[in-house]
Amino acid sequence: MLRFHHIVRVSLFASKASTFPLTSVSLSTSIPKRTTFALRSQMTSFSSSSSSSSSKLLFRQLFEKESSTYTYLLADASHPDKPALLIDPVDRTVDRDLSLIQELGLKLVYAMNTHVHADHVTGTGLIKSKVPGVKSIISKASGATADLFVEPGDKVHFGDLFLEVRATPGHTLGCVTYVTGDASDQPQPRMAFTGDALLIRGCGRTDFQGGSSEQLYKSVHSQIFTLPKDTFIYPAHDYKGFSVSTVGEEMQYNPRLTKDEETFKNIMANLNLSYPKMIDVAVPANLVCGVQSKVIMNS
């Protein structure tokens, strides 16, 4: 099993948190995760340590208002290098995110995406042009380009912490959920970065990019709802002012995914949503954003 300078397959991991609640990819050297709702915040810090480990997870939740997107910064603050990663960065807020990373004295190692976004241009390519050495990560099933590709069971290591990869297709063919490790030296409760597969009291649409309501229902129930009920849910978007939920909450209160599969498919088939206004720009850009040296910004 290789570190995330290398890719490996494994199970998900856990994390212990005071307030708010990662995957290892097996990469070879040849290959150039409420009790009450918290209101949306620009940045939320999270640190945790296990009784059997001095590892500390530094966590920030960052928000981009135009697309209502959350970007997540995670780092092993106890490691000498303070290695960090960003999940679902947005091009419009790259400078803000990199400034924060510099202020916190972190070393950005990975810029990773849960899927090919259709509502904004990811910041991955722009980050790579500004910070040499950062590796982009996306699922192999996404069809996008990246430095590293992950598959179900892979782990992404940063310092002594790691994220596990779970395949959660349905919103798109290549959606994955990154979950903090299920190990005694990893933070508790665990944290799941669900992309658009599972939102707080909702889920992503399934009518484009190879989406499937049937597949999404199975993904959420088999890959997310099987996590411990106190696992924190951190989605890629929120439109109602919420920032975090838990597996237990969504299993009880999600108005779509608490229904049986046939009812869920009927709900999704009758959403009558408008065509995503950014899709014709965002999807082509994001399919190559993982390796391009420059991102063509919207004008």
Q: Nearest to residue 182, comparing CAs of 1, 12, 57, 4?
A: 12
- C-alpha to C-alpha distance for 58 and 262, rounded to whole angstroms: 41
Query: CA gyration radius for the chain?
Result: 17
For the chain, domains (ranges, CATH) are: 2-298 (3.60.15.10)
- C-alpha to C-alpha distance for 295 and 57, rounded to whole angstroms: 30
pTM: 0.82
> Quick one: pLDDT band at residue 163, thresholds 50, 70, 90?
very high
pLDDT in tens, 133-155: 999 999 999 999 999 999 999 99
- C-alpha to C-alpha distance for 144 and 125, rounded to whole angstroms: 12
- Evaluate whether 106 touches 128 at the Cβ level (below 8 Å): no
Helix, strand or coil, per DSSP, at residue 253:
helix
- C-alpha to C-alpha distance for 200 and 242, rounded to whole angstroms: 7
pLDDT exceeds cutoff 90 at 39: no
pLDDT in tens, 57-114: 999 999 999 999 999 999 999 999 999 999 999 999 999 999 999 999 999 999 999 9
pLDDT in tens, 240-284: 999 999 999 999 999 999 999 999 999 999 999 898 889 999 999
Helix, strand or coil, per DSSP, at residue 248:
helix
In terms of residues, how long is the chain? 299
Task: Name the strands in the sheet holding 69-76, side by side, starting at the edge strand that comes first in the sequence.
Answer: 57-64, 69-76, 83-87, 107-112, 135-139, 148-150
Span 223-230, average pLDDT: 98
- Evaluate whether 267 touches 106 at the Cβ level (below 8 Å): no
10 Å Cβ neighbour count for 36?
7
Span 37-43, average pLDDT: 37
Helix, strand or coil, per DSSP, at residue 267:
helix
- C-alpha to C-alpha distance for 163 and 14, rounded to whole angstroms: 9
Task: Name the strands in the sheet holding 232-235, side by side, starting at the edge strand that comes first in the sequence.
Answer: 8-9, 154-158, 161-167, 176-180, 191-195, 232-235, 245-246
Enter the tokens of residue 114.
């849960």
**How high is the pLDDT of residue 289?**
86
pLDDT in tens, 184-194: 899 999 999 99
Residue with tokens 């040499």: 132
| C-alpha pair distances (Å), 259 with each of 58, 247, 251, 253, 255 | 36, 15, 10, 10, 7
**How high is the pLDDT of residue 28?**
32
The per-residue pLDDT of the chain, averaged, comes to: 84
pLDDT exceeds cutoff 80 at 128: yes
> Quick one: pLDDT band at residue 179, thresholds 50, 70, 90?
very high
* Range name among 15-29, 115-129, 230-244 with the lowest pLDDT average: 15-29
Structure letter (DSSP) for residue 134: P
pLDDT exceeds cutoff 80 at 19: no
